[in-house]
Chains A and B, each alone.
Chain A
Amino acid sequence: MKELNNLLTRRHFFSRFGLGIGTAALVSLLKNDLLADGQIPHFAPKAKRVIYLFQAGGPSQLDLWDYKPQLEKYRAQNLPDSVRGGQRLTGMTSFQSSFPVAPSLFKFAQYGKSGAWVSDLMPHTSKIVDQISFIKSMHTEQINHDPAQTFALTGFQLAGRPSLGAWISYGLGSVNKNLPSFIVMVSVGRNGGDQPLYDRLWGSGFLPSRYQGVKFHNGPDPVLYLSNPPGVSKQVRRQFLDDLSQLNEINANEYGDPEIPSRIARYEMAFQMQSSVPDLTDLSKEPEKTFEKYGPDARKPGTFAFNCILARRLAERDVRFIQLFHRGWDQHGGLPKNIAKQALDTDQPSAALIQDLAERGLLDDTLVIWGGEFGRTVYSQGKLTADDYGRDHHPRCFTVWLAGGGVKPGLTIGRTDDFSYNIADDPVHAHDLNATILHCLGIDHTRLTYKSQGRNFRLTDVHGNLINQILS
C-alpha cells in the first residue's frame, strides 16, 4: 500500500514535468543532457565503442615495430645531416656533440599471413598481427610529453580543448545508463615511470564538465566516493535516497525548477553506480582462463593487464569510450632494459584483449587503438655502447596499431626512411587518426562542433583527413 502511495506521488510529481514514471522517467531526464546538435551519427557507424590503449611516454617504434635492418651499417656513426635536415630537437639532446645511430638490439621477424614485422619484445602481439593494422607513418607537431599528449588527445597542444572521449560523449551520449560514457584507467608498470598524466587528457575543455572522462581510481573506490561510508549499509542508503527524493520532490513542486527532478535522477544513477561499478570491477566470477589469457599481472589491480580485462567488461556493458593509459615509455637512457619491462606489461594483455573481444563477437563493433604521443630518435641519447642506448623524443614518425570496428585487419600503412627518422610514404597526422576514430563511430569530424568564445571548435581544428586505406 505504501509503495503504491509512493508511486502515485511520484506519478503526480513527474507528470508535472510531462514525464512518465519510474526508470523510463529517469532515462528521459538523463536524456535532457545537452547533446551535440544535428543528426549524429552522421552516417552508419562501424564501431559502437572505442578502447584506446594509450602508451604514455612515447614507445620506441625502432625497437617494437619499425624494422630497420640497414641501420647496423651505420652503428655509432653520426646521423647524416641530410636525414636530420635541421629539424628541431629537444633541449635534452640539442647540446649533444654527436648523434650516433643506435640500431635496435632486438630481433625482428615477420608474422602471420600479413607478414608484419614485429620485434621479439612483442611475442603475443606478433600472434595477432592478422587482426590488427599498423600505421608506421604517424607524425605529430609536438616534441615534449605534455604538449604532445595534449595534442594527441585534444587536437591542440595547450590546455583548454575537450578531449577525444569528451567529444565522443558529447556527440553520441551514453548507451549504458548505469555507467559513465567515458571511463579512464591508469597504470604504471614494472619500470615505475616519472612521466605524469593530467586531468586535461580526459577533460571536457569548454564542453560542459559532464562529458569529461571518469577516471577509475586505483584504490578501494574505483569511482571516487563510490562506496557508502563505514556504518552506512545499502539498506540505509536506499532509505536515505527515498527520503531525499521525497524531500526534493516537495521542493520541486514548490519551485518548479527542472533542475530538481534532474538532481533526483542523478542520485538514482549514483545509487545504480554503487552496484554497477563493483559488479564491473569484481573479477571473481571471471574464469581461470581469462587470467591465463591476460597474463601474470591480470589479477593485480592497477596493472595494465587488469585494466585490459576491465576494458573488455566495460565494452560488454556498452561504455562508449574506454581509455587506458600506461605510463613509463620514456626511455631517454637504458632503453633496452626498460623497454623490455614495458613490453612485458603491455604485450600479452593487449593481444589478449583483441582475442577476447573477437571471441565474444565484440571486436566487430569495438575500435581498439594502441599507441602513444610520439616516437623516439634513431640516434642515441647519451652514450651508445654495445648493449645500451637511450632515445630522445621524436615527433616526425611513430607507429600505432588499430583493430576492430571500422578498420581493415592485416595492413601496414605508411613507411619511414631507412633511419625511421622521416616519413617516406603516406604520412598520417595525429589529426588524421582522430578524424578516422570519429569516422568509425559514424561522426564526420568536420561537423562535430561546439561554439566557445565566439568560434566553432572541433577536435581536428581545421585539419584532419581520413585514413581511407584503413577504413573497412
Chain B
Amino acid sequence: MAAGQSFQAGPDESELVKRITSEDELMRMPPVSSTHRLTRDEIGLLVEWVRQGAQWQKHWSFIPPQKGHLPAVRLNEWPKNEIDAFILARLESEGLQPSPEADRATLIRRLSFDLTGLPPTLKEIDDFQSDKSANAYEKVVDRLLASTRFGERMAFRWLDAARYADTNGYQIDGDRYMWRWRDWVIESFNQNKPYDKFVVDQLAGDLMPGATIEQRLATAFNRNHRINAEGGIVPEEYRTEYVIDRVDTTATVFMGLTVGCARCHSHKYDPITHQEYYRLSAYFNNIAEDGRAFDWGNSPPEMAAPDAAQQRRLSELDVDIAAARQLFAQELAASADKQRRWEKSLKPDSNRHWSPEEDQLIHLSLDQSSKPEIKRSDKSRHNRVEKKKDDKNFKPDVIGFKDGEPQPVPAPTGQGTKFDGKLYFDLGRIGDFRYKSTSEDFKERFAISIWINPESGNAGSIITKMPDKADEHEAGMPRTGGWGLFFMDGKVHFNMVREWGYDGYRAETENSLPVNQWHHVMLLFDGTQPYNRVNLYVDGLRQTLKINQGNFHLYWGLPGTPLRIGAGGGADMRFKGAMNDLRIYTRIPEDDEIAVLACREPLDKIAGKDAPERSMGEAVKLRNAFIEAEGSKELKQSNQRLRDLRSEKQRFEDSLPMVMIMQEMPDPRPAYLLKRGSYDAPAEKVERGVPAILPAMPPGLPNNRLGLAVWLAGPEHPLTSRVAVNRIWQMLFGTGLVKTTDDFGSQGELPSHPELLDWLAVDFSRGAPGKGEAAWDLKRLIKKIVTSAAYRQSSKISTQLLQRDPENRLVARGPRFRLPAEMIRDQALSVAGLLVEKIGGPSVKPYQPEGLYKDMAFGGLTGYDRDKGEGLWRRSLYTFWKRTILSPNMAVFDASAREFCTVRDTRTNTPLQSLNLMNDVTYIEAARMLAGRMINEGGEKPAQRIAWAFRTVTSRPPSEKELQVLLRNFDKQLASYNATQKESEKLLLIGEKRNQGKFNRIELAAYALTASLILNLDEAVTKQ
C-alpha cells in the first residue's frame, strides 16, 4: 500500500483513519493483542491531521534552529531583552500577565545561588539595595559571574552529567582519582572556556595537534563511567559496557538523544538504527582498556596530571638535573688525571668489583658461607616479619642454605654456589613486593640482579616468593600464586601471579639462552601496570618478551612466605646449576648501572684496557669505583647531588595526581554490530559514522573522536546548542524549555517556547559578531537569561495561576524551588562562618553517620576515614562521592549517585530531609556557629540578633510577626536551658569546631536552637 493512500487521501479514503476507527477487531490498529489503545482524543487528532493534508516533516529537533523575528507584544515596557518578547507574547496569547519584579533582597539571593551556589552576605545585600545606579542589577550579575565560585557552582550539575565520582562503582567500588578532571571543569567554567572548546576538549582533547596536559586530562570525561573489578567477570562483557556508556552519555549530554534504545534494536521512535548505534560506538571503542578494572585506584590508560605549580616544579627539576649533570661532568674532567693515576695503582685482584648499593635492599654473594646483607627499609612490608607482641605462634625465620651443603664454584664475581636440584637458600619472610594495597595506591618498584649458570634448559626456580609446592603445572611451570624468576625451556621467565590465567602477569624471553655458562639476569618491575613495565635483561641486553598473561587486577602479597633462592613451586623446581651475587633493589636502576651489574670484568682488568676499548659498563664501573675510593670531595658531592635530584624527581613524579584518560591505540579495534546489544553476539563489522538523520560530517575532518567532537560542536549541529541552552534554562528556572532535558527525540516533550529556544540556541552558537560578542560564550548566555524581566519576576503565586500553570511552564512568575543538596549544606556552612573556600584538590570526607560503610561495603573498604578540621567544611562538590553508598546528606536531597549520566533535576520533599536538617551534626554545628555570630555581630538585644540571623540566611529582615514567633521560641529555649543547664552544654559539644570567645553558654545554646529553626525554614532551603 502506498504511503499516500494511508495518509493523504483525505479522511474518508485514508487507510490510517479506517484502521484506527475500525469496529472490526481484525482490522483495528493498534492490534487488539497489543496492550496499546488510542484514546478518543488521539484518534480525533490523527483524523484532523489527515484532513489538513497530513503534512510531514522531520522531528523538530533535527531541523537546524533559526533565529526568528521577535514577536510583537502589547505590554511594551516590560521586556528587558529578547527573551522577554517571547515569554510575554506567549503570556499575552494565553491571556496572562507577567508578575511584578521581585524585590532586591530576593533578587540578589536568587542570583547569588544561581551563579555561585552560595547566599549573599549582608554587605552585598546592603550594597545592592543602596545602589541607585541604573545598572545596579547588572553590576551584581557581573560580580557574581566573575567570582571563582561560579566555576564551582557550574560544576555541580556537570559532574552529574559526566557521572563523576571518587569510586569505581560496581561491586568493589574502590577509590579512584579523577579529581584533577573535576578541577579542570571548575577552571574551564571560570575561564569561560567557549562551550565548543569545552566539548571538543572533553571528547577528544587528546587527539588535538600538540595536545596540552589539560586537553589530555579533559578526556577523563569519558573515563568517569563505572568500571567493574568484580572477580569472575568476563572482561569483554564490561569493556563493551564502558563503550556503551560513553556512547549513551555523549549522546545524552551533548545531543539530548536517547540513543541507548538502539543498542539492542533500531530505535522504536527516533530515526537511529541499530547499525548507526554501533557506528557511533566505534568512535569510543579504541582505547587500551581491560574490562576488568583494578580493585583499587585508577585503571589504564591513565596519566600523571600535574597542575600548573607542579608543572613548574617539574621543569625546575629538569633544569636542576641538567645543571647537576654538567657539574658532575666538569668535576670528572677535573679529576681525569687523578683517576688515571688511581687506575694504574690498582693491584691485580680478580675479586675486586664495584656495584651500586643505593636502595639496595638485599645483597647475597652466594658463596657457600653466604650471609645476606639485608638493609632495613622505610617500607615495612619489605622487611622481615617481626614478632607481634601477643603472637604466641610466632616462629622466627631461619635464614641460610637448606636441604644440602653448599659447594663452591668459580663465578663471575669470584665464588658462587652450586645448586644440585635440592639445595636452596632461605632468605626468610622478606621482599613482599606488592602490586597495590587496599589503603594506598603505591608504586612498588623493585629490581633483581643475579648471575646464573643453568645446567640445562629446565634449570628451575632462580628466586621466588611463592609456596614451595604446586598442585598443578602448565608447560612445566608451577601454577602457583606468588612471584618468581625461573629458567625453563631455555628461557628466563618472570611470573607474578594471583590467580593463574585470570589474575597475574607472566612473561618469558623470546630468545633461548645457551646453558652451562654464566649469564647475568636482571629483572625490573616499576610497580605499575605490569603489562608494559616489566623488563628483563640478560647479559646487559634488554630482552624482547613474550607475554603469557597480562591482566593484573587485585592487590596481593604473601607476607608469610619466605623468599627462596633456587626453590619455590615444588620439589621438581629446585635449581640445577650455579648462581652468584644476588642483589635486590627497591628502585629501577639507571641504564649505566644495569650495564655495570652485567659487567663481569674485575676492576684491574678494566683498568688494563685502553679507555676507548672499555664498554660503557666497564667505564662506569671503574669510574664509580674510583669516585668511591679516591674521588675529591667536590666530585663525590656532585655525584651525590645528581643522584639525589634524580630520586627527588622520581618521588615528585610519584606524588603527582593521576587521572584516567582516553588514549587511542595505534590500530583501531574493530567494532561490530552486537545482536541484542550483547557482547558475545557480534554480527557484521561496522565503520565509524554519524547517524544519517544528523548533518554529515564535514569533509576534511578525521573520522575519529576528534572529527566527531568537532562535528558535534559545529554551529550547524541542530542539537548541541539547543541542548546546552536548555540545560542552563533548567538550572535557572527549575524546568527546561524542553522539560525532558535528556530527551529531545520524538518521545520527549515539545518545547514550551520553541522560538525562544531556537533564538537562544542560535544566539549562543553564533554569538553576535556585529556587536563583537563571541560564539559559545556561556557567561554571556547566562547573563542574557538572568537579566531578563522573566527571570526577575517575583515567584509569588496566585491561586488562579497555580491552577492554570502549576509547573510554571509559561513563566508568568519567577522560579521558586528547593535548592540542590550541595547548596543547602554550603549555605549552612557559609552563614555559620565555617566554610573553607579552597578550590580543588582531593575529595574530602565530611561528617557522616558512623558505620554506614561497615553495613554494606566490600571487605577492606568498610572504614570511613572522616576528615578532621578543614575537610569537614569544604564546599559539597568536594565531598567524597562513593557511588554505591552515597553520602546521606547529599542523597536525601536527591543528589545523584553518579552511577550513570544524569541531566534531569529531581526534587522531592520527604521527612528524611526534615530529620537531616534538624539532627545532622553538620547542621547543628552550623547552627551553633551561627549563634556565635549572632551574638558577636548581630547587635545587643535578642530581637536584633535574631533578625540579623534571619536576614543572613534569607537575605531579608523578618516581618514583625515572624520576629515574634522567633523571639518567643528563643525565650522558651532560654528558659528551658536555664532549668536544665547540662542539656545546653550537650548541645554545645556537637561537632568539631568550638565557639571561640566568651559566651554565656546557656544563651549560646538557646540561640543555636533558634539558628537551627531558621536553617530549617522552607525559605532557607528554597530559591524564591
Q: Which residues of A contact B (CB under 8 A)?
A: 16, 88, 90-95, 97, 143-146, 158-160, 186, 188, 192-200, 203, 208-210, 214-215, 217-219, 221, 223-233, 235-237, 239-240, 243-244, 246-248, 250-252, 254-260, 262-264, 266-267, 269-270, 273-274, 383, 392-393, 446-447, 451, 453-455
Contact = CB atoms under 8 A, between A and B. Distances in A.
20 contacts: A90-B234, A97-B474, A144-B171, A196-B173, A196-B861, A199-B897, A225-B912, A229-B921, A232-B983, A232-B987, A243-B966, A251-B1019, A254-B796, A255-B795, A255-B1024, A257-B816, A263-B914, A264-B1018, A269-B911, A454-B740
Q: Chain B's interface: helix, strand, loop or mixed, by majority? A: loop
B232 A92 contact: yes
A117 to B, nearest CB: 29
A230 B1008 CA distance: 13
A100 to B, nearest CB: 12
A254 B261 CA distance: 46
A199 B986 CA distance: 33
Nearest to B885: A199
Contacts of B260: 453
A230 B987 contact: yes
A430 B1019 CA distance: 46
Nearest to B970: A243
Contact of B910 (A186, A259, A266): A266
Interface stretch (B352-360, B770-778, B851-859): B851-859
B990 interface: yes
Interface stretch (B6-14, B208-216, B496-504): B496-504
A155 B885 CA distance: 21
Contacts of B232: 90-93, 143-144, 392-393
Nearest to A327: B856
Given A16-B799, A196-B172, A446 B35 contact: yes
A243 B969 contact: yes
A278 to B, nearest CB: 13
Contacts of B988: 231
A422 to B, nearest CB: 19
Contacts of B287: none
Contact of A158 (B241, B1016, B1019): B241
A80 B243 CA distance: 37
Interface string B969-1004: 100110010000001111111100000000000000
Contact of A454 (B169, B743, B897, B909): B743
Contact of B852 (A200, A217, A236): A217
Given A91-B234, A95-B499, A251-B1019, A454 B226 contact: no
Given A144-B171, A231-B986, A239 B959 contact: no
Contacts of B1019: 248, 251
B920 interface: yes
Nearest to B861: A196
Interface-central residue, A225, A235, A453, by most chain B CB under 10 Å = A225
Contacts of A447: 35
Interface stretch (B118-126, B710-718, B756-764, B886-894): B886-894
Contacts of A208: 906, 908
Contacts of A239: 969, 972-973
A243 B961 CA distance: 12
B135 interface: no
B265 to A, nearest CB: 11
B1013 interface: yes
- The residue among A226, A260, A454 with the most chain B CB atoms within 10 A of its own CB is A454
Contacts of A195: 171, 858
Nearest to A261: B1018
B747 A94 contact: no
A235 B898 CA distance: 40
Given A145-B171, A196-B884, A208-B908, A90 B233 contact: yes
Nearest to B801: A256
B920 A97 contact: no
B916 interface: yes
A-B CB proximity, top 9 nearest: A454-B747, A95-B501, A231-B987, A90-B232, A194-B859, A231-B986, A159-B899, A230-B986, A270-B914
Nearest to B909: A262
A263 B743 CA distance: 30
Contacts of B501: 94-95
A194 B1009 contact: no
B860 interface: yes
B693 interface: no
Contacts of A251: 1017-1019
Given A159-B897, A256-B802, A446-B35, 6 more contacts: A146-B228, A160-B899, A199-B891, A255-B816, A266-B914, A454-B270
A260 B818 CA distance: 10
Contact of A229 (B816, B891, B919): B919
Interface string B86-102: 00000000000000000
Nearest to A262: B909
Interface size class on chain B is: 35 or more
A236 B1009 contact: yes
A71 B544 CA distance: 49
Which of A159, A193, A262 counts the most B-chain CB atoms under 10 A from its CB?
A: A159
Contacts of B743: 453-454
Interface in B471-514: 471-472, 474, 479, 499-502
A383 B920 contact: no
A231 B740 contact: no
Nearest to B551: A91
Contact of B915 (A188, A225, A383): A225
A223 B966 contact: no
Interface in B893-941: 894, 897, 899-900, 906, 908-916, 918-921, 924
A455 B747 contact: yes
Contacts of A264: 1018
A91 B235 contact: yes
Given A200-B897, A224-B912, A263-B1018, A97 B987 contact: no
Given A144-B233, A231-B984, A225 B891 contact: no
Nearest to A211: B908
B1005 interface: yes
B1009 A240 contact: yes
A228 B917 CA distance: 11
Contact of A247 (B171, B799, B858, B965): B965
A208 B910 CA distance: 11
Contacts of B857: 196
B270 to A, nearest CB: 8
Contacts of B1005: 231
Interface string B857-891: 11111000000000000000000000111101001
Contacts of B884: 196-200
B160 to A, nearest CB: 13
B669 interface: no
Contacts of B748: 454
Interface string B388-415: 0000000000000000000000000000
Contacts of A224: 849, 888, 892, 912, 915-916
Contact of A256 (B241, B742, B799): B799
Contacts of A210: 908-910
B802 A199 contact: no
Contacts of A93: 232
Interface in B820-856: 849-852, 854-856
Contacts of B910: 209-210, 266
B306 interface: no
Given A447-B35, A454-B261, A194 B858 contact: yes
A160 B270 CA distance: 21
A392 B910 CA distance: 42
A192 B966 CA distance: 51
B850 A219 contact: yes
Contacts of B914: 263, 266-267, 269-270
A192 B858 CA distance: 11
A192 B855 CA distance: 11
